[in-house]
Structure 1
Amino acid sequence: MEREMCIYKELLKISKDKSLEDELNDIADYIYKEYGTKINFCKIFGNRWSYCAGNKNLIMPKYRIVLTEDLGLLAENVDEENWNEILQAIKKVIA
């Protein structure tokens, strides 16, 4: 829980006073630099997921996670140890 709060605070600093696209790009950059995990954020239109922000070099995403009704996350090479905390922090920041 303490680790989750640290991640959340870092993501809040990153996302302050920015457009949604810039905020998501900065979050994706932070996650890649800190944890080595490439992520994309996607707009969800029914069954179709369309790239919105994040790492454009994501080749083979292993994970497809719905964050909100209209926003999802694709990820590869996830660090299982920290992933739940990272995911919860991202959900709090974009809410």
Structure 2
Amino acid sequence: MVTNSFKHAFPAGRKGEIKINLHKSETSARVNRISSQDEDCKDSFNYILEVSDNGKGIPEEIDTKSSNSLGFQLVNILVEQIDGFLEIKSNKGTQFTIWFNNIEI
């Protein structure tokens, strides 16, 4: 996600800002196994990772879930592997938010 920001968010040497934030969810006391497809499940996750930039944003015509872009494919696959939930917003830049639980190795 950070690499995508460096590569796409700031064309022609434009300056910008990339933020990375990882924190525990306020509702992390709940530990339910819920499908990553259920958007209403955000309260069931323990952690939230946010990666955002104030760049040009993602063009509206790009479907981030079915894009041929290697970056989007990798993000979607990794979120799926950790049984997480991904939300992408593109308004005054781009924001990736990933909700997930403890990952056991």
Q: Please report the TM-score for the alignment, with normalisation by the length of structure 1.
A: 0.29
Q: TM-score, normalised by structure 2?
A: 0.27
Point out the structure with max Rg over C-alpha. 2
